[in-house]
Amino acid sequence: MTAASDYIELHAHSYFSLLDGASSPEALVERAAQLGMTALALTDHDAVYGAVRFESAARATGIHAIFGAELTLVGGSHLTLLVENERGWGNLCWLISQARGNAPKGEAALARHLLERHTTGLIALSGCHKGEIASALLRGDPRAAGEAACFYRDVFGTDRFWIELQHHKQPGTPKLLFKLVTLARQIGVGYVATNNVHYATNDSHEMQDVLTCVRQGTTLDDPLGGRRSNAEYYLKSARQMAELFTAYPAALTNTRRIAERCHFVPQYGLQDLPTFPTPAGLSGEQYLRQLCEEGLLRRFPDRPVAAVTALDHELRVISRAGLANYFLIVWDIVRFARENGIRCQGRGSAANSLVAYLLAISPIDPLAHNLVFERFLSDERRSTPDIDIDFQADRREEVIQYVYGRYGADYTAMACTFVTFRERSARREVGKVLGLPPEVIESAVRHVHARNRGDLNQAAGTGSSLPNGFSAGESEQRAQYDRLCAQIKGLPRYLGIHNGGMIITGVPLAMRVPTEPATMPDRVVCQWDKNGLEDAGLIKIDVLGLRMLSAIAEALDILGETTGAPPDLDNLTLDDPTVYQMISRADTIGVFQVESRAQAQVLPRIQPRAFADLIVSISLIRPGPVQGNMVHPYLRRRLHEEPVIYAHPLLEPALAETLGVILFQEQVLKVARDLGQFTAGQGEQLRRALGKNDAEGIARFQAAFVAGAEANGIAGAVAAEVFGQLKAFGGYSFPKSHAAAFAVLVYQSAWLKCYYPAAFYTALLNNQPMGFWSPAVIVNDARHHGIRILAVDVNHSRANCTIEDGGIRIGFRYVRGLGEAGADRLEAARGAIPFSDLADFCARTRSHIPRKLVEQLILVGALDSWSIARRQLLWELGQVRRSDDELDLAFVHEVVTLPALSRAEALRAEYLILGLSTGDHIMALYRAVLNDAGILGSAALTRCADGERVRIAGQVVVHQSPPTAKGHHFVTLEDENGLMNVIVRPDVVTQTNKLPQWQGYGLNGATLVLVEGIVQHKGDVINVVATGIFPLTVDSVAK
């Protein structure tokens, strides 16, 4: 009789063996526990991607986690490695890094000789049938098998090299096992059974087949698809394994012997940061204090007691947490950026810290804004705080390179991300694997709207996810397609690079976590993502790119060039009434964070008049306040339409600044403290539980909260009601500190728009894509602000948009197909000598601007300066030899007279080629007809009374249906005079199904609609509540 504990699986792949393993680490652990296994090894291909999750799941289940990997050697053979101890972990990480670095992205190839000095603390198993020894025996070369076995025995030692036996019911297996065991006995090493697990249970072998086909680009019907011939690669019980290895019982008991030797758990933390070099004689803590004192002198010359006290407190907490070194590293990165003119600022909870403010990491004085330091760091908080810094996006790479240079490429890497199958990619890839016709796959993909992400499981269950593509007799095939798509969703596909997360260590990184090359040259990523790094205790520093910072920097550069002295944006007093008036009338297109349609609804009601109002404004339109029904009570209270009330007077100190409602994450901490008698650290833990919607954690905190409140003399019912508000809020909001840091950018960008609109719009156009609105809307907004928009011109435009005589000249970058490099080349080809005519232009650009692009330039008027009609230029272009491979034929130069482009034709060309119009708005072409039919535009709409029935028409520039809106759609229409807001109720939304994806109506594919509805005034905000919505056609106008 075999006991369950007699067999430990030492060779298991999770789905972090990308496109090979089919089960999560958690699923493997769960199955192992069901089978009564006391330990389990995870041995993904050339990776430890899943190690942290594996360890966490194993710890929770009481299973002993064994770390390892199946390494790919040069030539493609495999070797299974298991970690005995910390030294072994370091060696495994190093070997994986070497193997990854020696092969194209996604592959690995370790030169065998590199094993020689990196085997300490590792146990090697000889691998699957792709192992050097098994494969040599399979091809009938026992000599090579013997040589390889002796090599590994000598490198690892007789007690740490084992011949691996696998039995997957394949032809020839008994013979192979016999040869392997014989060889093991001959060379004096042990043998051990494994099952080379690729899925937790055998029903998952279908998914493994699908993944294999995706990996190899084949279909299931392809006989050479590389799929396995049966379903035997699942986690088997001791009894099942015993049946397979009746002839070799020691192979099973040896699994336990090996498992008992492996006892390593990665534990990192602050000790892994490099030690920041401090001036002689100063410790990190002393140097940090010195820098803070210098900052204190700059920021608070009078050394107010509150600041000095707060600084002392923070430095003590930082010291106890051992974080001085961390702060110095971050300070140094920011220092580099500032010294090199790279705009940057901290975001997130770091802005709660006075130390961060004094070190110029954060732009926010936490004392002035009543921010809570414990939201950032406290003695109770166990995990290391994040300091996230935004840098201007176009120069972020310089900062990253600085960090690489400062700490060394071997000590620095980016965090990875795992790109997973999403609904559309699942549809596409599974469809291909099943061999479905392309039109069926595309039909399925089209049907999957981005907003339906997450509905796949439900759709698979109802069989209603695909309205077309399959015929009635193919319901089984369709169900299979749905089922497989649902199963594959969420599985990792390939490794990506984190947006900005950098990891820096004091010892070579490859000894801590494996690294591998990223797609970007000279970049390496580590094998753990953000969560893995955090859970393993490795500190990440987020070096993020923010395009608004780039736009602000560019606007300042433009002003520096045009006025001689850029304004001192960093020392604005943040209290200019003109700026607040502009924001209050929602004249905010292009302004950071407050430009959206939703913000435009709120700003005229809030009427921001001070910096604190900006913090509130950007915090209101967040899922927490929206879903917690905080927005309208706040607005009503602010407008004195309802009284400010508190569920209990003790809430007033926490919620007074937001009129009794919860808007900021910090307020959760304050409410927990004031009512529930939580410490700051406990409050933070509660906020995290709320943010993660951790039901178990929330329930635990609720009991503590109610108990604390009752001890405070507060009735249980009141405490429960307040806790209910905290739960509804959910934590999906900005911390006030984050909102405050962002509000600085709101003010700065608004200030630029207010006083230097041409520079502001130019910078916005040059840093697209960013923000809420398309370049077409930005250009129209600029025009409404009296700024002339000048067409692309080969003799005046530059690669980027520029200011010209107070107007904005559209740059070559907007010409579709030219690209950034093409735009630069065109500008360089012109140099200082303008093009004299078409022939000159063609002669100087023929080597790098193809004919098609010249045609596009002509069509958008870029060659209008010679006063030749565009059609005429196109005709002439046909007679110019453009490239060396065109025959140099002599043409009879016919003189033809061609009509000029109509307004509509010119406009269409601009929309198609530039994506915007430098002249007319499309709706201007319809205005006379619309006026005759009594259909209003944005200008007339402002004069309509509340409740008036109207018909309006415009171009759809935004169409939203957020999940929080309960089926309502929000549409923004634009015409030549401005924007119009339309609310479409659910019963009217059904009509919009007649407008396929809101496209294809009117000129150039723009969506032009006619809306019938009722005018609704809310303060200064005007909406039209639609009662009907139609494509704008001759018929609909005439109705």
Q: What is the binding site for another protein (CB under 8 A)? A: 169-175, 205-206, 209, 220-221, 227, 229-232, 434, 480
Q: How far is the CB of 206 from another protein (least distance, A)?
A: 5
CA dist 875 and 679 (Å) reads 79
Nearer to another protein by Cβ, of 168 and 881: the residue is 168
Nearer to another protein by Cβ, of 172 and 437: the residue is 172
Structural tokens at position 488: 């594959």
Provide the 10 A C-beta neighbour count for residue 368.
11
Report whether 750 contacts 588 (CB < 8 A): yes
End-to-end Cα, the chain, rounded Å: 86
Provide the 10 A C-beta neighbour count for residue 692.
12
CA dist 81 and 76 (Å) reads 16
The contacts of residue 492 (CB under 8 Å, 6+ apart) are: 15, 16, 18, 49, 418, 419, 420
CA dist 20 and 198 (Å) reads 7
Q: How far is the CB of 220 from another protein (least distance, A)?
A: 5
Nearer to another protein by Cβ, of 277 and 435: the residue is 435
Nearer to another protein by Cβ, of 173 and 1004: the residue is 173
Structural tokens at position 886: 């065109």
Q: How far is the CB of 477 from another protein (least distance, A)?
A: 9
Q: How far is the CB of 146 from another protein (least distance, A)?
A: 24
CA dist 865 and 736 (Å) reads 53
The contacts of residue 235 (CB under 8 Å, 6+ apart) are: 9, 12, 28, 31, 32, 35, 195, 197, 199, 200, 201
Q: How far is the CB of 205 from another protein (least distance, A)?
A: 7
Structural tokens at position 919: 């002249």
Nearer to another protein by Cβ, of 229 and 964: the residue is 229
Nearer to another protein by Cβ, of 170 and 290: the residue is 170
Q: How far is the CB of 738 from another protein (least distance, A)?
A: 49
Nearer to another protein by Cβ, of 228 and 638: the residue is 228
Nearer to another protein by Cβ, of 479 and 925: the residue is 479
Q: How far is the CB of 140 from another protein (least distance, A)?
A: 16
Which amino acid is residue 911, in one-letter code?
Y
Nearer to another protein by Cβ, of 210 and 789: the residue is 210
Structural tokens at position 541: 């520093």
C-alpha radius of gyration, the chain, whole number: 33
Collapse the DSSP code of 338 into the 3-class scheme (helix H, G, I; strand E, B; otherwise coil) and give the result.
helix
Structural tokens at position 964: 């929080």
CA dist 384 and 367 (Å) reads 23
Q: How far is the CB of 225 from another protein (least distance, A)?
A: 10
CA dist 900 and 905 (Å) reads 9
Strands (E) located in 909-1007: 949-960, 969-975, 978-984
Q: How far is the CB of 444 from another protein (least distance, A)?
A: 17
Q: How far is the CB of 175 from another protein (least distance, A)?
A: 7
Q: How far is the CB of 474 from another protein (least distance, A)?
A: 12
Nearer to another protein by Cβ, of 209 and 285: the residue is 209
Q: Does the bond joining 769 to the residue before it have cis omega, within 30 degrees of 0?
A: yes
Alpha helix ranges (H) inside 438-587: 438-447, 456-462, 475-488, 530-536, 547-563, 577-584
Nearer to another protein by Cβ, of 230 and 340: the residue is 230
Q: How far is the CB of 255 from another protein (least distance, A)?
A: 23
Q: How far is the CB of 231 from another protein (least distance, A)?
A: 5
Q: How far is the CB of 169 from another protein (least distance, A)?
A: 4
Cα 249-254-255 angle, rounded to 5 deg: 110
CA nearest neighbour of 849 among 875, 871, 821, 873? 821
Nearer to another protein by Cβ, of 234 and 528: the residue is 234
Nearer to another protein by Cβ, of 174 and 249: the residue is 174
Strands (E) located in 386-532: 388-392, 412-420, 492-504, 515-517, 524-529
Report whether 245 contacts 252 (CB < 8 A): yes
CA nearest neighbour of 740 among 607, 567, 868, 593? 593
Nearer to another protein by Cβ, of 231 and 551: the residue is 231
CA nearest neighbour of 279 among 340, 333, 328, 330? 328
Give me the sheet containing 802-804, strands edge to edge.
789-790, 807-809, 802-804
Q: How far is the CB of 484 from another protein (least distance, A)?
A: 9
Nearer to another protein by Cβ, of 206 and 410: the residue is 206
Alpha helix ranges (H) inside 322-408: 324-339, 354-358, 396-407
CA dist 431 and 445 (Å) reads 10
Q: How far is the CB of 30 from another protein (least distance, A)?
A: 24
Report whether 798 contacts 831 (CB < 8 A): no
Nearer to another protein by Cβ, of 220 and 940: the residue is 220
Nearer to another protein by Cβ, of 44 and 429: the residue is 429
Q: How far is the CB of 142 from another protein (least distance, A)?
A: 19
CA dist 649 and 1008 (Å) reads 53
CA nearest neighbour of 542 among 415, 365, 417, 404? 415
**Beta-ladder partners of 951:** 1012
Report whether 607 contacts 585 (CB < 8 A): no
Q: How far is the CB of 909 from another protein (least distance, A)?
A: 50
Q: Which residue has the tokens 């034929």?
A: 889
Report whether 967 contacts 986 (CB < 8 A): yes
Nearer to another protein by Cβ, of 141 and 203: the residue is 203
Strands (E) located in 216-325: none
CA dist 202 and 209 (Å) reads 12
